[in-house]
């Protein structure tokens, strides 16, 4: 075991793997410490096309193609009998027009295994970080590995520990979130009766007056992920009696009843309660947070892995520059940049739950140019400020919904 590295990365999820791959490419030595044995389950199975740009930059896109995951070319939203389909090929911003729907156990393992083959990267699985001694000059990371406590030093630490939130916990960086407490219940289920092409893509169906929604994400092995997101109280109700109400709910949706009524569950329902998290600070002397250890808003637009990968990449770029002796303005070059993308999704998440997006998505006469621009956001291109639906995200959705309501003679509330 080496005594020092340039960078220690906590967590081998997508944020950690992409950060490690970038730093390795720049000739840095990297140690990735991962608490679990891989493959391991994690939720977050539908990717966005923009994550492919970053995977390509760190030479991981071929690894992903080789896994033969289920192709994802768009997303379809349903509300009662209304349907709104977005195809990524119709998006406004240049870039990828497809991505994949992945079992994260396989996706995350494929990425980290590929990175671990590269010279200069060491990966320890079942190595749980317990403590971090941080100063501007050196970082000391204490971890449990093979029944022993070890301590290794590095010039810089990247926290990509996702739901583990290692540095936010150790450094007291957690900040309360101001969204209503929401939770999720989900399972994997056999999916051998996909009736049409739309069933190859993710399907989101709003219910309970937009307070809840159900997802179905098909995988390439003829299984699917199905889950419901809603107020924590609703999910607690769904969880009772082995998820009885959750199953009943799945069979209530026209597209899902026929598809799943005779399917076996691959694993029984699991829940994640009050998933939204946030932090006061994204960086400090000698450390930076990326992926879910920064902030996680809501899964409605499948943005989590794309934000994890993009933040892992952006943070690694700056870590490399700092280690090369350049001055990095972490607030301007990292925190502000990352937050600008997260804030675009934040506006869309609010607009989803308050019904604004429903008005736009299900309007009878949708403007094709606006649809393209919204499609870009749904594909993850949230840093493209030439897109008015990115640049003016705080106001444009409400204004558009208002115009639609006036045109359709609907009440303005």
- Which two structure tokens, joined as six digits, stand for 164? 């583990």
Give the separation between CA 311 and CA 15, rounded to whole angstroms.
7
Q: Does 269 bind ligand FAD (CB under 6 A)?
A: no
- For residue 36, the minimal CB distance to ligand FAD (Å) is 4
- For residue 16, the minimal CB distance to ligand FAD (Å) is 6
Phi and psi at residue 10, in whole multiples of 5°? -95, 115
Give the separation between CA 199 and CA 255, rounded to whole angstroms.
9
- For residue 367, the minimal CB distance to ligand FAD (Å) is 28
Query: Which residues does residue 157 pair with via DSSP β-bridges, in sequence order?
Result: 8, 287
Q: Does 128 bind ligand FAD (CB under 6 A)?
A: yes
Out of 129, 152, 189, 277, the residue judged to bind ligand FAD by CB under 6 A: 129
Q: Note the residue count of the chain.
A: 413
Q: Does 297 bind ligand FAD (CB under 6 A)?
A: no
Q: Does 105 bind ligand FAD (CB under 6 A)?
A: no
Q: Which of residues 317-376 bind ligand FAD (CB under 6 A)?
A: none
Burial of 215 (0-12, 13-18, 19+ CB in 10 A): buried
Q: Does 380 bind ligand FAD (CB under 6 A)?
A: no
Out of 145, 163, 171, 207, the residue judged to bind ligand FAD by CB under 6 A: 163
- For residue 88, the minimal CB distance to ligand FAD (Å) is 15
Q: Does 70 bind ligand FAD (CB under 6 A)?
A: no
Question: Tokens 């002397």 — which residue?
Answer: 285
Give the three-state DSSP class for 408.
helix
Q: Does 44 bind ligand FAD (CB under 6 A)?
A: yes
Of the listed pieces 69-77, 161-169, 239-247, 281-289, which binds ligand FAD according to CB under 6 A? 161-169
Out of 24, 29, 99, 161, the residue judged to bind ligand FAD by CB under 6 A: 161
Out of 63, 84, 103, 162, the residue judged to bind ligand FAD by CB under 6 A: 162
Query: Which residues does residue 128 pair with via DSSP β-bridges, in sequence order?
Result: 144
Phi and psi at residue 201, in whole multiples of 5°? -105, 170
Out of 20, 160, 199, 279, the residue judged to bind ligand FAD by CB under 6 A: 160
Give the separation between CA 134 and CA 124, rounded to whole angstroms.
21
**Is the CB of residue 315 less than 8 Å from the CB of residue 158?**
yes
Q: Does 272 bind ligand FAD (CB under 6 A)?
A: yes
Phi and psi at residue 30, in whole multiples of 5°? -135, 135
Would you say 162 or 358 has its CB closer to ligand FAD?
162
Strands 70-72 and 99-101: antiparallel
Of the listed pieces 29-37, 187-195, 251-259, 334-342, which binds ligand FAD according to CB under 6 A? 29-37
Q: In 149-162, which positions are buried (b, 16+ CB within 10 angstroms) versus exposed (e)?
A: ebebebbbbbbbbb
Name the site residues for ligand FAD (rule: CB under 6 A): 10-16, 33-36, 42-47, 128-129, 160-164, 166, 184, 272, 275, 291-292, 296, 299, 302, 304-306, 308
């Amino acid at each position: 075991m080496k005594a020092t590295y340039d960078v220690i990365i906590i967590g081998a999820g997508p944020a950690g793997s992409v950060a490690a791959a970038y730093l390795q490419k720049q000739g840095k030595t990297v140690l990735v410490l991962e608490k679990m044995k891989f493959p391991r389950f994690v939720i977050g199975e539908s990717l966005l096309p923009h994550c492919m740009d970053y995977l390509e930059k760190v030479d991981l896109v071929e690894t992903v193609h080789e896994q033969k995951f289920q192709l994802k070319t768009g997303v379809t939203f349903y509300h009662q009998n209304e349907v709104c389909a977005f195809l990524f090929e119709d998006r406004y911003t240049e870039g990828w027009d497809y991505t994949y729907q992945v079992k994260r156990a396989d996706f995350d393992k494929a990425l980290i295994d590929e990175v671990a083959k590269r010279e200069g990267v060491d990966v320890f699985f079942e190595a749980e970080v317990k403590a971090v001694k941080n100063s501007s000059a050196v970082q000391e990371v204490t971890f449990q590995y093979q029944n022993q406590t070890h301590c290794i030093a590095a010039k810089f630490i990247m926290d990509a520990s996702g739901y583990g939130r290692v540095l936010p916990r150790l450094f007291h960086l957690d900040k309360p979130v101001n969204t209503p407490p929401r939770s999720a219940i989900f399972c994997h289920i056999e999916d051998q009766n996909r009736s049409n092409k739309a069933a190859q893509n993710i399907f989101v169906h709003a219910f309970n007056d937009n307070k809840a929604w159900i997802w179905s994400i098909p995988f390439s092995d003829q299984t699917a992920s199905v889950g419901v997101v809603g107020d924590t109280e609703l999910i607690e109700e769904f969880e009772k009696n082995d998820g009885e109400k959750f199953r009943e709910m799945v069979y209530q949706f026209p597209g899902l009843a026929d598809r799943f009524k005779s399917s076996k569950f691959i694993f029984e329902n699991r829940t994640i309660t009050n998933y939204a998290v946030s932090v006061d600070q994204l960086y400090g002397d000698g450390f930076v947070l990326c992926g879910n250890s920064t902030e996680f808003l809501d899964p409605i637009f499948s943005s989590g892995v794309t934000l994890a990968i993009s933040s892992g990449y952006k943070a690694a770029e700056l870590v490399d520059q700092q280690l090369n002796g350049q001055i990095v303005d972490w607030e301007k070059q990292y925190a502000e940049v990352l937050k600008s993308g997260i804030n675009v999704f934040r506006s869309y998440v609010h607009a989803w739950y308050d019904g604004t997006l429903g008005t736009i998505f299900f309007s009878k006469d949708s403007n094709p140019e606006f649809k393209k621009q919204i499609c870009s956001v749904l594909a993850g291109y949230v840093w493209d400020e030439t897109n008015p639906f990115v640049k003016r995200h705080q106001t444009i959705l409400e204004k558009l919904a208002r115009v639609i309501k006036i045109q359709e003679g609907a009440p303005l509330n």
